[in-house]
């Protein structure tokens, strides 16, 4: 596969960064993952906005614009011969002397690579499990999509060989948080519930889009601090992320059993989601 790095299109095995890059040494880096459907980068503006906010927080002097990213994507789509792909846009702080660096990073490493991925055939279904590993607290006022992923990896290891399941984090205080790589939702008596970002979760792009989509569909939405008992009483449960879209949970160990891919509200939202995949740049457009 071909990828982009710092203004050049090159083969993935030709890419390299300095061992003094502070994204490597200190985890000072951010990334966004999203999909292109038939060549269209779904919700690209929202991903760029979040990435730019994170870069400002990390004091990395770089600002993305839609046209910049689309130009790279157009070149890579042609080089790789793909119309549907998973995209990772990554910014690493760049090279600096060893030590904690407080000055702005002026020469970050910009990488974009893609992997082939098919369009889902329909709503997917998984089992869930409540993790013993607790969700760590964000390192800044809100969680960034940064290189700091040990908490997620530790949680994934907890699942061992259960590769199809989604693990669900609780906070240290026992509140429902999010999945290992997803945001969590459930339905009770026609109302859509999801943990508040005050729990320290990542404010996922698909999460934000779905909340707006639900309101547009006339569904009441409640964000807040919830416990396992709230999930146990749910009529439907599903998770979201930008790659797996919306996927239902059929059961959660020790909590409850749910209709999975037969969930009425889950299907309503999934069908609406599909209608926007090849056209929207931002949730603000609906």
Q: Is residue 285 part of a domain?
A: no
Nearest to 166 by CA among 269, 250, 273: 250
Q: Is residue 284 part of a domain?
A: no
Nearest to 182 by CA among 224, 135, 234: 135
What sign does the dihedral 12-15-19-21 (CA atoms) show? negative
pTM of the entire predicted model: 0.97
Residues 6+ apart with CB under 8 A from 49: 282
Pairing assessment for the beta strands 124-130 and 245-252 based on DSSP bridges: parallel
pLDDT band at 162; cut points 50, 70, 90? confident
- Domain co-membership, 254 together with 160: yes
Q: Give the residue numbers spanning the domain of 58.
A: 2-116
Q: What is the pLDDT of residue 42?
A: 98
Boundary (domain end) residue, out of 116, 142, 172: 116
pLDDT band at 163; cut points 50, 70, 90? confident
pLDDT higher than 90, residue 111: yes
Long-range CB contacts (< 8 A, 24+ apart) of 268-275?
A: 268/217, 269/210, 269/213, 269/214, 269/217, 269/219, 270/123, 270/245, 270/246, 272/213, 272/216, 272/217, 273/209, 273/210, 273/213, 273/245, 273/246
> How many distinct structural domains can be found in the chain?
2
Q: What is the pLDDT of residue 86?
A: 98
What is the tens place of the pLDDT at every residue in 224-273? Answer: 999 999 999 999 999 999 999 999 999 999 899 999 999 999 999 999 99
CATH code for position 265: 3.20.10.10
pLDDT band at 92; cut points 50, 70, 90? very high
- Domain co-membership, 100 together with 194: no
pLDDT band at 161; cut points 50, 70, 90? confident
């Amino acid at each position: 596969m071909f990828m982009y790095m710092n203004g050049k299109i090159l083969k993935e095995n030709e890419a390299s960064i300095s061992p003094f890059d502070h994204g490597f040494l200190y985890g000072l880096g951010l990334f966004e993952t999203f999909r292109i459907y038939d060549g269209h980068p779904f919700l690209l503006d929202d991903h760029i906005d979040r990435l730019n906010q994170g870069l400002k927080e990390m004091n990395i002097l770089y600002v993305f614009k839609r046209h910049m990213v689309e130009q790279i994507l157009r070149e890579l789509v042609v080089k790789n011969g793909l119309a549907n792909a998973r995209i990772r846009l990554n910014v690493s702080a760049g090279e600096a002397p060893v030590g904690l660096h407080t000055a702005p990073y002026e020469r970050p490493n910009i990488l974009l690579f893609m992997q082939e991925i098919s369009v889902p055939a329909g709503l997917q279904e998984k089992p869930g499990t409540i993790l013993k590993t607790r969700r760590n607290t964000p390192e800044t006022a809100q969680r960034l999509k940064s290189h700091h992923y040990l908490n997620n990896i530790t949680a994934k290891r907890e699942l061992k060989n259960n590769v199809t399941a989604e693990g669900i984090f609780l906070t240290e205080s026992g509140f429902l948080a999010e999945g290992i790589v997803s945001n969590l939702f459930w339905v009770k008596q026609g109302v859509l519930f999801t943990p508040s970002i005050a729990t320290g979760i990542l404010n996922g792009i698909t999460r934000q889009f779905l909340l707006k989509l639900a309101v547009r569909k006339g569904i009441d939405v409640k964000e807040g601090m919830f416990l396992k008992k709230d999930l146990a009483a749910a009529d439907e449960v599903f998770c979201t992320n930008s790659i797996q879209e919306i996927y239902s949970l059929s059961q959660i160990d020790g909590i409850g059993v749910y209709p999975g891919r037969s969930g009425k509200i889950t299907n309503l939202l999934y069908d609406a989601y599909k209608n926007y995949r090849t056209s929207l740049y931002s949730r603000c457009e609906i």
